[in-house]
A = this chain, B = another copy of it.
Amino acid sequence: MPTKIRKLGECTIKSPLHQIGGVEVRYRSDAERVLYDHTCTDGQPAVDPADLHVLSFEQAGPREHIFFDPVRTTVGIVTCGGLCPGLNDIIKGLVTQLWNRYGCTRIYGFHFGYQGLVQRLGHQYTILKPEKVKQIHLLGGSILGTSRGNQPIGEMVDTLEDMGIDILFVVGGDGSMIGADLIVSEVEKRNLKISIVGIPKTIDNDIQYLDKSFGFETAFAEAVKAVRAGHAESEGAPNGIGLIKLMGRDSGFIASYAALADGNVDFVLIPEVPFRLEGPRGFLEMLRHHVANRGSAVVVVAEGAGKDFMDGYEDLDPSGNQRPKDIGIYLRDKINALFRERKMELNLKYIDPSYTVRSVPANAQDNFYCQQLAQHAVHAAMAGKTGMIIGRWHTSYVHLPISFVSRHGRRMVDPTGELWRAVLESTGQPGSMM
């Protein structure tokens, strides 16, 4: 099952770098692939790469012949969904690679995500040039702004046609990628030659078939700062508890990485590992016991943890509207109540770094990674590939069909896997709190 990447047509134009500086460039052929499964057992391969059904991914990189004539190519860039460190890096990387490497000079940045592709909403676009993006990697957020949700596919493709867009880069989450796939279908239906290349974004690191998502390195590094503050608080007072809520609605990657990086966390609660609050083996009693013995505790909770018992928990705002349930606040109140009931002194400090984790500028790791993703995205698009996203698998940059990735749902922390085991080993928390 070698995943297939769609192409707009034959590549007949020589890649322009060839002429520059007499440098030998190692071009990639579409036949070069990376195995999904790289394990084996003594003398027994996990998979047989000769088997056509073995899963493998097309390698990214420059093609010797490309589809689009750079000087006649018009490019659009759109950033969708919530903010994530690295959005500006991706924009910068795309613009400089298009301009310097290929010589494309007509690059439009659409504003506020897919909204920017709907003319009737009246958002402006920005003309992007290397000079304009030179320092944007030092800023958080996205210079183009973002928005959530998809927009009418037809209207968006109308805009692409009207503006003569040849290549559209979509930076966004899984919802936006489904939108991108619908754009691909509409483009095909209209018999247009527009390449749609996605750069998948999820601060939670929960995309399948990807070593990591951009922004994640920055996000968990920021999260570590919150964990350290929580640790200082926990030791700063008798029976201190630092309770830190971190991003992760469906997965506990940020929580797990931050806890491991800090190394002084006592409990990590994530969506993938159910736990009970009450009862002799429940979290509350385990925590109380830990504080009674050690004098303090640090607890990291992902926002999606404890889904099952959060169902009954409703919070109302002053106008009587239902407010999103918050596991952090809930735990804080529950722990406070327990210690009050047990007449134990308690100094619980609750920390929710919230958006600060995602709105900071990318760190050097993500500066580098985004730049690589952008370079490869441009190579792919110039070669006329479409309906695909750029990823990295086992340290190799690859092309993945959008539909293939979106079909397989989100990645989660495997409760029997290496990462969670490392967390258990580092925290010493009970393997089960049920």
Contact = CB atoms under 8 A, between A and B. Distances in A.
A356 B226 contact: yes
Contact of A237 (B45, B146, B394): B146
B355 A354 contact: no
Contacts of A38: 34-35, 38, 394, 396
Given A20-B430, A224-B364, A431-B24, A422 B372 contact: yes
Contacts of A364: 217, 220-221, 224, 257-258, 261
A354 B356 contact: no
A174 interface: no
Interface centre among A225, A261, A367, A372 (most CB of B within 10 A): A261
A172 to B, nearest CB: 13
Contact of A221 (B20, B35, B363): B363
A262 interface: yes
A231 B145 CA distance: 12
Interface centre among A25, A115, A263 (most CB of B within 10 A): A263
Contacts of A416: 24-26
Contact of A229 (B59, B147, B319, B360): B360
Interface string A9-40: 00000000100111111100001111100111
Contact of A317 (B24, B97, B333, B359): B333
A368 B260 contact: yes
Interface string A285-311: 000000000000000000000000000
A123 B238 CA distance: 9
Interface in A323-364: 323, 330, 333-334, 336-337, 349-356, 359-360, 363-364
Interface stretch (A46-54, A160-168, A196-204, A403-411): A46-54
Interface stretch (A134-142, A181-189, A381-389): A134-142
A83 interface: yes
A236 interface: yes
A91 to B, nearest CB: 11
The 6 closest A-B pairs by CB, nearest first: A23-B431, A21-B431, A45-B49, A141-B232, A221-B364, A229-B359
Interface of A: 2, 17, 20-26, 31-35, 38-50, 52, 54, 56, 59, 61-62, 83, 89, 92-93, 96-97, 100-101, 112, 115, 123, 134-135, 137-142, 145-148, 211, 217, 220-221, 224-226, 228-233, 235-238, 240, 257-258, 260-264, 313, 317-319, 321, 323, 330, 333-334, 336-337, 349-356, 359-360, 363-365, 367-368, 371-372, 375, 394-397, 416-418, 421-422, 424-426, 428-432
18 contacts: A20-B430, A24-B416, A35-B39, A44-B49, A45-B48, A45-B50, A93-B263, A135-B139, A141-B235, A145-B235, A145-B240, A225-B360, A232-B359, A260-B372, A261-B367, A371-B422, A371-B426, A375-B422
Given A146-B237, A319-B333, A321-B333, 9 more contacts: A24-B416, A31-B41, A96-B263, A101-B425, A226-B356, A229-B355, A260-B371, A317-B336, A395-B395
